[in-house]
Amino acid sequence: MFLRQVWTIAAKDLHSELRTKDAWNASIAFSVVILLLFSFSFDPSSEQVREFSGGLLWMTYAFAGALVLNRSFAREMQNDCLDALIASPVSSAALFVGKSLANFALLFAVELVSLPVFVLFYNLQWGAAQVGPMLLVLVMGTWALTIIGTLFSALTVNLRLRELMLPTLVYPMMIPALIAAITVTTNVLAGSPPGLGIRLLLAFDIIFTLLAVVFVDTVLVG
């Protein structure tokens, strides 16, 4: 029952987004433009690229993510759809996890499109051994951004300045996950082992997923 509800919510969000492409277009355009602008602005050497690659990538993903996450619960405000969802037998946890999965899929797709742009314009040398760890850190880092972002999207949905409030509240919470993701990504792109950051990301994902699932009913219903 829980999984079916999760899937129904996630499929609905993805279906709506694929039909309107509101968040997708904005997020893709933003991430590609930022990566291109940095490339043309600084013309870095390959050594410098290795040093700041993780930071640049995750800053881009974090800002692009805000565009996706802002829409997540805001989409439900039109016509009072959120009330209909809360009044339905769908548990708040299923609603939250479903929305998080849809946001994760969207943000991950944005990353998969913008990553080749990054590799191409920054002349990164990739080996087959780096693909697995890179995908792992992308999945774990994106889930961290998604889970915090979706919870705060629910929390700020009734605020008049929610587009401003969401990043203001979310980014400080994301700092541990971002630092871990940046460190691991930089290590992986330099051909080094991922390091302890991957464990920190895993712990962050587990703890915040559990906390969010426990508190989301209070966030939505009061």
Which residues of the chain form contacts with other proteins (CB under 8 A)? 1, 4-5, 8, 12, 15-16, 19-20, 78-81, 83-91, 217, 221-222
- Distance in Å, CB of 80 to other proteins, minimum: 3
- Distance in Å, CB of 79 to other proteins, minimum: 5
Nearer to other proteins, 77 or 129 (CB): 77
Q: Which residues contact 151 (CB under 8 A, 6 or more apart)?
A: 96, 208, 212, 215, 216, 219
Nearer to other proteins, 39 or 153 (CB): 153
Nearer to other proteins, 83 or 210 (CB): 83
Q: Which residues contact 35 (CB under 8 A, 6 or more apart)?
A: 56, 60, 114, 117, 118, 121
Smallest Cα–Cα separation from 151: which of 174, 178, 182, 180? 174
Nearer to other proteins, 1 or 128 (CB): 1
Nearer to other proteins, 50 or 162 (CB): 162
- Distance in Å, CB of 20 to other proteins, minimum: 5
